[in-house]
Structure 1
Amino acid sequence: MATANIHVVPTGDEWAVEVAGGGARTTYPTQEAAISAGTERAKRDKVELLIHGRDGQIRERNSFGHDPRDVKG
C-alpha cells in the first residue's frame, strides 16, 4: 500500500494523476477523468487526494484514510 498522497495536476492540454514524491504518473484527456481515476487510487491506497486547478494551486482536498482530524458526524 502506498503512503504518498495522490495529486491531480494540469499537464499541457491534459490532466495527470501522480503520486507525491515522484511516483507513477498517468495522463487523462479531461480533469473529470483524472479526478475519477485519482479518487479510486486514493480510496484504494487510503491516502489524500489533492486536486489542483489550471494555475497549479490546490483547489480541493479529499481524505480517504488516515485523517488526522477527529470529527464526529
Structure 2
Amino acid sequence: MHAHNIHVIPTGKYGWVVEVEGEDEASAEYLTQDQAVAAGTEKAKEDGVELFVHGRDGKIRECNTCIKDSQKIKG
C-alpha cells in the first residue's frame, strides 16, 4: 500500500492537527504546533513520506522529506 504525505494544519482558533492525505479524519489534535510537528515528523519517518507544515493562514511554510532508517544512504 502506498503511504500518503502528512500535513500539520491549524484547527479552529487554537490547536493543531496531524492529517494524513487520503484519510477523512485527523490522526490527532495538539495544543501547540511544536507538538504536532514532532508527532507528524515521527509518523512521516515511519512511513517514509513528506511532512508539510502549514501556518495559521493555511499556507505551507515548511516541507520535510522523511525517509525510513532502513532507506538511509550509507556513505
Shorter-chain TM-score above 0.5: yes
* Matching of residue 15 in structure 1 with residue 54 in structure 2: no
Q: Which residue identity lines up with residue 11 of structure 1 in the other structure?
A: T
- The residue that corresponds to 1:38 in the other structure is 40
Q: Which residue identity lines up with residue 39 of structure 1 in the other structure?
A: T
Q: Which residue identity lines up with residue 9 of structure 1 in the other structure?
A: I
- TM-score calculated relative to the size of structure 2: 0.80
More strand by share: 1
- The residue that corresponds to 1:6 in the other structure is 6
Unaligned runs of 5+ in 1: 66-73
- Give SS of 2:10's match: strand
Deviation of residue 15 (structure 1)? 0.2
For these two proteins, the number of residue pairs brought into alignment is 65
Q: Which residue identity lines up with residue 56 of structure 1 in the other structure?
A: G
Contact (CA 8 Å) 1:43, 1:64: kept in 2 or not?
yes
Unaligned runs of 5+ in 2: 68-75
- TM-score calculated relative to the size of structure 1: 0.82
Q: Sequence identity, in percent?
A: 55
Deviation of residue 57 (structure 1)? 0.3
Deviation of residue 43 (structure 1)? 0.3
